[in-house]
Structure 1
């Protein structure tokens, strides 16, 4: 029997990253593996320079993503002042960077994001995982570090509401869509529209009841947080299949 930790992601703004070339910072319509692992790491209190802990987290968890239809793409134009590249100078704070105005240069960039997006995420742990799903649930309920939707300027708009569930993946997801939609409607009738989902879902690995119609290649597999390196991974896309009762929920 498969076990899953399911939680929701919602906010006024969200940016999920994409291959960045030049001045444009694109975003995917879905949270990628790096973003979701980063969310879990922040909740657990794992620091960005703890390579060993981050690598263990990367090796032992799989994600399934369902996307709502409410997200709207947008783009901002930014001007940022940064110091000229100097190999012998290391800046520890933004104040240090701005202290010498003679070496500042202005960088132009365009940054994409989604407004009013809503996503449901299911997490499955593989054998040898460093944290149980119960531990991840507890961390999401009381995170060590502040959580955001891709960027620090994109805070959560709703609680994560992490729930544990056992059963066939297709049934677990189908029931989660109904359950979270009902909870949104009880919280505020206007939020009910967030629970209108795309028929497709996206996942990695093998899960009972999920059959892929398409294989995609995403470059969001973190390799080194220090060097900001990412590798490719295979993401499956498909629809929910036959129904089966979900056996237990917490």
Structure 2
């Protein structure tokens, strides 16, 4: 089994959960359906392509290397110009977030996905169409490893300015994964497996996830504390 890591970074990202038209919030990390949707776009799958459902079989984990700050965008939408009818909409985005996603599957499938992410058939975006990645995606393939094992040792990918703000040798990062990959009492259900991407009837299926913490070396930390009386 191969595991592919994908660094997700952009000025704005948004991973919608249950929402109404007027209020659209975001998970604090990339949902599985958002990651699989990006992969499907790279592979050239259209919204009604039956091969999209096969992507649900991929095993996935996400590590939050740099939590995003919430930005709420207020919009006035004119949906009936003839009668001058308008609606208010609030959309949440994550600013300056950095995530490392790890997915595992069949060896050939993983290699096909990695190639597609660097030669996408359709535009890639992080949650919403306006959220394009900050440059080419950074990916890496690991042999005979599962997503959790990889993300426990993969170097911390937060921006340098963020790393310098963490005045510790190690950074404690949250890792959200398919529940069967870890032994944890803190499991929950999230509705982010793909049911359909059809714009006329989009729906999702629940899956069980677990959240753990992993310690990552902070290479930007410099301990300047010293005792001036120590050598007296």
The CA deviation string for residues 215-241 of structure 1, in whole angstroms up to 9 with x for no partner, is 011112221222111222111112349
Instruction: Give the structure-2-normalised TM-score.
Output: 0.80
Matched, 1:110 2:87: no
Aligned to 1:121: 101
Cα offset, 1:212, TM superposition: 2.1
The CA deviation string for residues 194-216 of structure 1, in whole angstroms up to 9 with x for no partner, is 99864321111533xx3324101
Q: 2:155 aligns with which of 177, 185, 188?
A: 177
Looking at structure 1, the residues matched to 132 and 165 of structure 2 have their Cα atoms a distance apart, in angstroms, of 17
Aligned to 2:121: 144
Aligned to 1:19: 18
Looking at structure 2, the residues matched to 122 and 194 of structure 1 have their Cα atoms a distance apart, in angstroms, of 26
Aligned to 1:76: 73
Q: Flag as ranges the 4+ runs of structure 1 deviating above 3 A.
A: 167-171, 189-198
Please tell me the root mean square deviation across aligned C-alpha atoms, in Å. Answer: 2.6
More helix by share: 1
Aligned to 1:95: none
Looking at structure 1, the residues matched to 109 and 164 of structure 2 have their Cα atoms a distance apart, in angstroms, of 33
CA contact (8 A) 1:30 1:65 kept: yes
Aligned to 1:37: 36
Looking at structure 1, the residues matched to 150 and 15 of structure 2 have their Cα atoms a distance apart, in angstroms, of 25
Aligned to 1:237: 211
Matched, 1:218 2:198: no
The CA deviation string for residues 60-101 of structure 1, in whole angstroms up to 9 with x for no partner, is 212100012341111010111224xxxxxxxxxxxxxxxxx4
Structure 1 unaligned spans of 5+:
84-100, 242-250
Looking at structure 2, the residues matched to 228 and 107 of structure 1 have their Cα atoms a distance apart, in angstroms, of 22
Instruction: Give the structure-1-normalised TM-score.
Output: 0.74
CA contact (8 A) 1:213 1:237 kept: no
CA contact (8 A) 1:213 1:238 kept: no
Looking at structure 2, the residues matched to 79 and 39 of structure 1 have their Cα atoms a distance apart, in angstroms, of 28
* CA shift in 2, pair 1:171/1:224, >3 Å: closer
SS in 1 for 2:180: coil
- How many residue pairs get matched? 209
Looking at structure 2, the residues matched to 12 and 194 of structure 1 have their Cα atoms a distance apart, in angstroms, of 19
Cα offset, 1:146, TM superposition: 1.0
SS in 1 for 2:37: helix
Aligned to 2:45: 46
Looking at structure 2, the residues matched to 120 and 192 of structure 1 have their Cα atoms a distance apart, in angstroms, of 15
CA contact (8 A) 1:45 1:145 kept: yes
